[in-house]
Amino acid sequence: MGTQEQYPVDVASIREDFPILERKVGGDIETPGEGPDDTRPLVYLDNAATSHTPTAVVDRIADYYYSYNSNVHRGIHHLSQEASVAYENAHDRVAEFIGAAGREEVVFTKNTTESMNLVAYAWGLSELGPGDTVVLSEMEHHASLVTWQQIAKKTGATVEYIRVDDAGRLDMDHAAELIDDSTAMVSVVHVSNTLGTVTPVAELADLAHDHDAYIFVDGAQSVPTRPVDVEAIDADFFAFSGHKMLGPTGIGVLYGKEHILEEMQPYLYGGEMIRSVTYEDSTWEELPWKFEAGTPVIAQGIGLHAAIDYLEDVGMERVQAHEELLAEYAYDELSAFDDVEIYGPPGDERGGLVAFNLDGVHAHDLSSILNDHGVAIRAGDHCTQPLHDKLGVPASTRASFYIYNTTDEVDALVDAVDDARQLFA
């Protein structure tokens, strides 16, 4: 493995767009790059948490600040008009990217978590009550699990969980049992950020709609890594974050079917989302602006537009193929160690990440050793603490891949894990 011809994407060319990948790590954190121990090449395998940002995206954001930095929708001067057009075009670009009908169905938030909370509070507080059920899966991120758990406490609704089997797959027979006429919302992760499991969200959407329930899909790990069409899925709500897909931090997206968003009341109130105000009452702006109170995420939205342009130039089918190649390769190489336990389905059935543990070694200790080798991974419960409780472990070590990663970097991970095995033997 490792030759350019074997990759679905042009990795060598892509890596040139990410100067951070040339860094050496291991020296003084207070003065990075200056210490004598900065000798290890960075192997960045923490992309499920945050991906890196290519020069083209940074340049697009810088151009906004250098050339037409201004607030949107509030001024008739030239800079404000330019910024407004760019910001609205970013909504259009996102809508096109995920298969939405138009910008009216695309709300910009800070992240996936805020998108989840927006729906939970703006829809859930008014629509849920005693006797209603919200159905989640056992592998939900805390952004979904905790949010709906707390909304249920406020409304008297009940939360139920679709089982995950020993292979890390969703038990669809159990899903069919849980989703019934009491179900008001099904909220499920598209690709698990711990198990790598790809959830059959279109099938779940059919189940939900058969019982007049809505479905909310957490696409934080799917939109960055594979083609997504929200209309083909028939999702009622769908959310993801820019910082996991080459974009800046501080930008998230909530997709919602237009007729549902029209019926919902705003989650936040203030400037920008107002059509008219009197001392007695107020009316709201048209979609999507009624959900974007205050000065919005202008630069971040423009940066997300640039990130989507970059990904589409690569081709989302190739992005997915590259991720799956690396995940399967890592799964196979780590499986060769009899003292390494990998969580989730087989290597050819998962998204681009592998969570595992080394017998007798806490994930944080293993992560520290990998860091000494220049390998950046994630260690902890990955905001899926109940899932880790079900797995019987307090934490796991997670390597996650993106378009600039190589099989050589997977080899560096495996070699570092082997060194840890020898150290703790």
Active site residues: 383
Q: Are 341 and 166 contacting, i.e. CB atoms less than 8 angstroms apart?
A: no
Q: Which residues contact 179 (CB under 8 A, 6 or more apart)?
A: 135, 186, 204, 207, 208, 210, 211, 213
CA-to-CA distance for 215 and 135, rounded, in angstroms?
Answer: 9
Instruction: Tell how far CA 284 is from the center of its chain.
Output: 30
Q: Are 195 and 214 contacting, i.e. CB atoms less than 8 angstroms apart?
A: no
* Structural tokens at position 345: 């389905």
Residue 184, beta-bridge partner list: none
CA-to-CA distance for 209 and 179, rounded, in angstroms?
Answer: 10
CA-to-CA distance for 118 and 254, rounded, in angstroms?
Answer: 9
Q: Is 337 buried (19+), middle (13-18) or exposed (0-12) by CB count in 10 A? A: middle
CA atoms within a 13 Å half-sphere pointing along the CA-CB vector of 375: 28
* Structural tokens at position 84: 């407004």
CA-to-CA distance for 208 and 214, rounded, in angstroms?
Answer: 6
At residue 25, the 3 state secondary structure works out as: strand
Span between the terminal Cα atoms of the chain, in Å:
29
Q: Are 218 and 239 contacting, i.e. CB atoms less than 8 angstroms apart?
A: yes
Q: Are 396 and 382 contacting, i.e. CB atoms less than 8 angstroms apart?
A: yes
